[in-house]
Amino acid sequence: MTVADADWWRARLTDEEDVLWSGRPDQGFFPLQYGWVYKVFLLALAVLWLVSPWMLESVREFWKLTSVTLLLTFTLWADQFVRSQRVYVVTSQDAWTLNKKLKSKALKIDRFLSFTTGRRAVVFNRHPFFRFDHLSDPSAAFSALLQAQEASK
């Protein structure tokens, strides 16, 4: 990936905005927050495939198992793809969730904006569909948000 490809999101910001922090969600195949759930489900699915010749009695049951396997594979790929196309940015005026291929979201930073840091996430209270998820260091984003909020007063 070239530098121009890594900074595609900078063109979406205005010149008046100073970038205080930018970060990306974890890029692994399994997000760390839910990774154990995926791994347990994959193990159960593998065991089901191993015992399927003795358990499945019809072709219809085989296709159900195949459909569940394909659905899980697509879900894992789609989740990883969406995370790979996302960048979180805190500017002097806004908090951004920028997506390369999907719709981006912005949230105005003012003194009334309430946010907390959780385990691997920054949660914006009263904005349930806007959050910075799967962060390796949510405290850096939190401190940048505090800095932007102090500057807006």
User: Over the stretch 18-49, which tens digit does the pLDDT of each residue have?
Assistant: 889 999 988 876 666 666 777 787 788 888 88
Model pLDDT, residue 4? 53
pLDDT value for 33? 61
The pTM of the full predicted model, rounded to 2 decimals, is: 0.76
| pLDDT under 70: residue ranges of the chain | 1-6, 29-35
**Is-contact 121 138, C-beta < 8 A?**
yes
Taking the C-alpha atoms of residue 26 and residue 144, their distance in angstroms, rounded to an integer, is: 19
| Cα within 13 Å of Cα(149), Cβ side | 12
CA 146 vs CA 5, 48, 123, 129: distances in Å: 29, 49, 13, 20
**What is the phi/psi pair of residue 111, to 5°?**
-70, -15
- Quote the crossing angle between the two packed helices 59-84 and 35-55, to the nearest 10°: 160
CA-based max dimension of the chain = 68
Q: How many CA atoms lie within 13 A of 60 on its CB side?
A: 0
